[in-house]
Amino acid sequence: MKRTVIGGFIMLGGLFTTLTIIVVAALYIPSMNSWSGSQLWYAIFGGKQYANESVESLFLGFPFVVGLLLSILGLVILVMEYFDKSFLK
């Protein structure tokens, strides 16, 4: 039970972080003047600066990846705990 709660909180923390960054980037998109590729991913991760152009990005790539890793880690803990209990019965 203890590992299930820990895995659930880790997964929810990662999902909250990741989804918050996606929502913030989606709200930031209308104020962007230039980008390359997808607007959403450019707002999150940014890109190279060309000549005198300013880079209009949130640069939240590192927290976004950490949130994804936490979500995956929590899901792995929950799946391991689920299958561990189902084989004991």
Global pTM value: 0.85
CB atoms within 10 A of CB 17: 18
Q: What are 39-53's pLDDT values in tens digits? A: 999 999 987 767 666
User: How far does Cα 48 stand from its chain's mean position?
Assistant: 21
Amino acid at 49: Q
Q: What are 14-71's pLDDT values in tens digits? A: 999 999 999 999 999 999 888 888 999 999 998 776 766 677 889 999 999 999 999 9
C-alpha angle 22-28-31 in degrees, rounded to nearest 5: 155
Contact between 60 and 25 (Cβ < 8 Å): yes
Residue ranges of the domains in the chain? 2-88
